[in-house]
Structure 1
Amino acid sequence: MMDLWNKIRTEATGIWKEPMMAGTVEAFVLDHATFEDALLYLLSYKLQDENTSQLEIMEELEKVAGQYPIIFKYALEDLETSFRRDYAQKRYADVLLFSNGFVAIQSQRFAHWYFNNGKVATAKFIQSSVLKNFGIDIHPGACLGKGLVFDHGTGIVIGETSVIEDGVFMFHNVTLGGTGKGDGDRHPKIGKNVLIGAGATLLGNIHIGEGANIAAGAMVLKDVPEGKTVAGVPAKIVGEAGQVQ
């Protein structure tokens, strides 16, 4: 963890030299000795509003992190995966400083802890703050794996009983929703290393098999087998999925 944080700090020093960037880089990277401290500062800054201060939020997040330290390991895996698989990201520091999808995922992890520990209002506050600031709506009840990438992120909606396993890459305007015909376990389950294209809609308690690809704009209403590509409205199998690198 420390090696990657040192690399991020080195990258940030280069960004610091750009006009207008010194204050941002200092506040979010250079003022912090560890990745953990930087992440807590970043999230509390992004989640604050006119009624709830950054300090109040950071103190609360620190308490959660003390009971749930693996959250930082997951965050680093998300960051590393974003750098490796999103070709627009040229530096690790860019993911930390500028990726709305990364911030949304980390915020939801904290919201999920609150949701599971009976503090539903706090969980909903985090959810609504992320929606207001980034246009990404992830229910705090959803279960997220690690090594996730929400590229661009804008317009993503993820329902309460959704499950997203490790290594999923999701583009903007994706919906993991219910059908509106029942309650309980009603949202999609996404297997490892699935790729979901922009504007895809997946509805109901369906399972998307490991390594599957969902084409942009697809409407998925049924299970998708492992390693297959589906496309269309409604979605149908059109071939084999490419190998995730």
Structure 2
Amino acid sequence: MNKEEIWQQIKKEIEHVNEPIMHRLIQRYVHPAGSLARAVLLILSHKLADDLVNERELEQLFTQQLEKAPEVGTYFAADLEQYYTRDFACHTYLEALCFFRGLQALAAYRMAHQFYQEDKTMTAKWLQNRIFEKFAIDIHPAAIIDKGLVIDHGIGVVIGETCQIGENVFIFHNVTLGGTGKTQGDRHPKVGAEVVIGAGATLLGNIQIGQGANIAAGAVVLKEVPAYTTVAGIPAKVKGKANSVQ
């Protein structure tokens, strides 16, 4: 579904909510929003505010950025759609929007990435730091992440500065997309579309992970992975063709 259709679905889901705590969240973040992107910004402003930058200031900052780059709202929707479709623990768009730390961290990264592209690097890195403090997920704002990423559970995920991630990738918790520490410059993995990376996997260096590949839990990947293959082990080796996973 597109962002308008998802927003209409969220409003339908609200009609079936009969829990007082949820009503408070809905009244604060969803009803005043008027759109999916606006709801995301209201939630992020509340979550990421601190003693130095208050909620209202963040809301204004994010709103200005969204007005300059409205396509970010399309990315919010594509990410949320993938969570709803592929995360077995997700039963409504509303719960993912309000509670899923991976989705919220990803949305905040998308704002930080916009600041970074405008050379507002300190603002971007402040946001990176707040994302880590709040969600225990570390995504460098210079990383390039296409639409539809799912970070399941989220805790412990690290995505390095020169990392690139294609469409509809699924990443479990405690995954590192890092450098080897031996090279500078372009030093992080390039992950193709539809890749699944299992919990605790470590991918190091400027290596290509082919489209549709499956990286097994706990694997340490130091070399290129061909498209549509499964790799496992330390160091990772090809085990066969990739099966469909989530």
State the TM-score, normalized to the length of structure 2: 0.96
**Structure 1 segments of 4 or more deviating over 6 A?**
none
Q: Provide the rounded CA distance (Å) in 2 between the counterparts of 1:99 and 1:52.
A: 23
Aligned length: 244
Q: TM-score, normalised by structure 1?
A: 0.96
Show the 5 A alignment for 1:132-211.
132-211=133-212
Unpaired runs of at least 5, structure 1: none
Give the 3-state SS of the residue equivalent to 1:88 in structure 2: coil
Correspondence for 1:4 among 3, 6, 12:
6
Kindly provide the amino acid, as one letter, of the partner of residue 145 in structure 1. D
> Are 2:37 and 2:76, in contact at CA under 8 Å, matched by a contact in 1?
no
Answer yes or no: is the 8 Å Cα contact 1:12–1:29 preserved in 2. Answer: no
**In percent, how many aligned pairs have the same letter?**
47
1:146-168 deviation per Cα after TM superposition (whole angstroms, max 9, x unaligned) = 01100011100011000011010
Within 2, Cα distance between the matches of 1:210 and 1:22? 42
| Cross-structure match for 1:226 | 227
* Partner Cα separation in structure 2 for residue 20 and residue 41 of structure 1: 17
CA contact 1:135–1:155 (8 Å) conserved in 2? yes
Distance in 2 separating the partners of 1:144 and 1:48: 24
**1:244 CA drift (Å):** 6.0
Residue 10 of structure 1, CA deviation: 2.0
- Tell me the CA shift for residue 64 of structure 1: 1.2
Residue identity opposite 1:202 in structure 2: L
The answer to which of 27-36 and 88-97 deviates more is 27-36
* Matched letter for residue 221 of structure 1: L
CA distance in 2, matches of 1:83, 1:112: 24
Corresponding position: 1:13 with 2:15:
yes
Aligned to 1:110: 111
Query: Is the counterpart of residue 40 in structure 1 residue 59 in structure 2?
Result: no
Q: 1:179 touches 1:203 (CA, 8 Å); kept in 2?
A: yes
After superposition, the C-alpha distances for 1:99-133 in whole angstroms (9 at most, x for unaligned) are 10001111111111111211111001110111001
What is the CA deviation profile of residues 70-95 of structure 1, one whole-angstrom value per residue up to 9, with x for unaligned ones?
A: 10011101101110011110011111
Return the letter of the residue paired with 1:120. T
Q: Does 1:99 align with 2:118?
A: no
Q: Distance in 2 between matches of 1:45 and 1:159?
A: 26
Equivalent position of 1:238 in the other structure: 239
RMSD between aligned alpha carbons?
Answer: 1.2
> Does the Cα contact within 8 Å between 1:211 and 1:244 map onto a contact in 2?
no
Asked if 1 retains the 8 angstrom alpha-carbon contact of 2:124 and 2:141, the reply is: yes
Report the Cα distance in structure 2 between the residues aligned to 1:141 and 1:82, rounded to whole angstroms.
23
Contact preservation (8 Å) 1:161, 1:187: yes
8 A Cα contact 1:174 1:200, kept in partner: yes
Query: What is the rounded CA distance, in whole Å, between the counterparts of 2:177 and 2:21 in structure 1?
Result: 38
- Which residue number corresponds to residue 29 of structure 1? 30
- Give yes or no for contact 2:153–2:173 (8 Å, CA) kept in 1: yes
Matched letter for residue 92 of structure 1: Y
**Unpaired runs of 5+ in structure 2?**
none
